[in-house]
Structure 1
């Protein structure tokens, strides 16, 4: 059983970065992020005429699409006041791809979260909680290393980081758009840079808490065993 518990501890270690980073992304998928971001004093104005109210209206509809169960017609039916389509075919195709990616990763996240909680409970039932918490501590340290690299990439060259991120998940140049396309007007680089920064800070904070918490939990269990 020791080998099994050690393997499960390694699994916990590998789950921690994903759980924390996806937790940050799930927070960013809420409308209040757009409320905050669009109202920043240094948020760039749209050179083609979207007001803050316009961005909030269209942006929240677009964000809702990513997490609801509607088809692409949810966005495809959007029209400007003059009757022209809000999104073109290229933008709609990309949003469909983004929705597939987000909903798939969220399902995996929920499954991992459930598995983590079940392993936590089982570790106490089967008396291997010390090994479990060591796995949590290692996961925290692993996450810290990953996030430091992400934050450095954001500070040093966000354009390269952003491009590489899209190259991993999307085919070719399907994620590139003209400056007057609605997606770029709603979600300029400033929004993404701030999102990456928030994700890094949130995940780093969680990783530090889990790292120290895991070490403390393992230490306390060792101390209790010695007392017995």
Structure 2
């Protein structure tokens, strides 16, 4: 039994930083984020003519594609006008790559959430809750260290961080596009910079809550 307890503690401590970041990303994958982001006073207008309403329309359709079970034709059939597709073939290929990555992330996120529930229920019955909460606290501290590193990178050189992220998850230069392409017009660099900041802020706050819960519980049990 001690082995399984230690294994559960290790799993939680190591996985919590990634679980919290995945939770933040999942929250971004809703129409609410573009609704807020596009209305920021510093957000750049589209030099090729997308209005706010058009950006909201096409960004929501793009997010819907990432989350639904449709194949690539869902996006390929979207038209800016009868002769102009929303995305060209290169953009469609990238969106397919992003969809695969997002779906894999959601699967891992869901599995981890289920494992956490099972471990917490088991710990409650076995009297190991203190150990499990301590593991969540350790994970929260690890997440804070990781997020501070990421946020410092955002401030110092976001372009390098953004490039490194894409080089890790996508092949070659498949993620590079022209400024006139719809993907860049809908999702320019400030969109992603603010997304990184949001993920960092959410993860930081959630980590503090985990640390506080463990500390508060420990004080009560004394």
Identify the TM-score tier after normalising by the shorter chain: over 0.9
Distance 2:15 2:215 in 1: 17
Please say which of residues 185-194 and 34-43 is displaced more in the overlay: 34-43
Residue 126 in structure 1 maps to residue 129 in structure 2 = no
Task: Specify the alignment match of 1:8 in structure 2.
Answer: 8
Cα shift at 1:129: 1.2
Instruction: Give the match's secondary structure for 1:80.
Output: strand
Residue 211 in structure 1 maps to residue 190 in structure 2 = no
Residue 48 in structure 1 maps to residue 48 in structure 2 = yes
Cα shift at 1:4: 2.3
Residue 23 in structure 1 maps to residue 29 in structure 2 = no
Q: TM-score, normalised by structure 2?
A: 0.97
Task: Specify the alignment match of 2:72 in structure 1.
Answer: 72
Cα shift at 1:82: 4.3
Please say which of residues 194-203 and 208-217 is displaced more in the overlay: 208-217
Task: Specify the alignment match of 2:169 in structure 1.
Answer: 169
Deviation string, structure 1 residues 49-104 (Cα, Å, up to 9, x no partner): 11111101111111110001111101001112241221111100000000000011
Task: Specify the alignment match of 1:180 in structure 2.
Answer: 180
Task: Specify the alignment match of 2:58 in structure 1.
Answer: 58
Ranges in structure 1 where 5+ consecutive residues have no aligned partner = 224-228
Instruction: Give the match's secondary structure for 2:84.
Output: coil
Distance 1:124 1:197 in 2: 35
Contact preservation (8 Å) 1:131, 1:218: no
Residue 95 in structure 1 maps to residue 101 in structure 2 = no
Cα shift at 1:216: 2.9
Runs of at least 4 residues of structure 1 off by over 6 A?
A: none
Distance 2:17 2:109 in 1: 11
Contact preservation (8 Å) 1:134, 1:218: no
Ranges in structure 2 where 5+ consecutive residues have no aligned partner = none
Q: TM-score, normalised by structure 1?
A: 0.94
Q: CA RMSD in A?
A: 1.1
Distance 1:133 1:53 in 2: 45
Task: Specify the alignment match of 1:226 in structure 2.
Answer: none
What is the count of residue pairs matched by the alignment?
Answer: 222
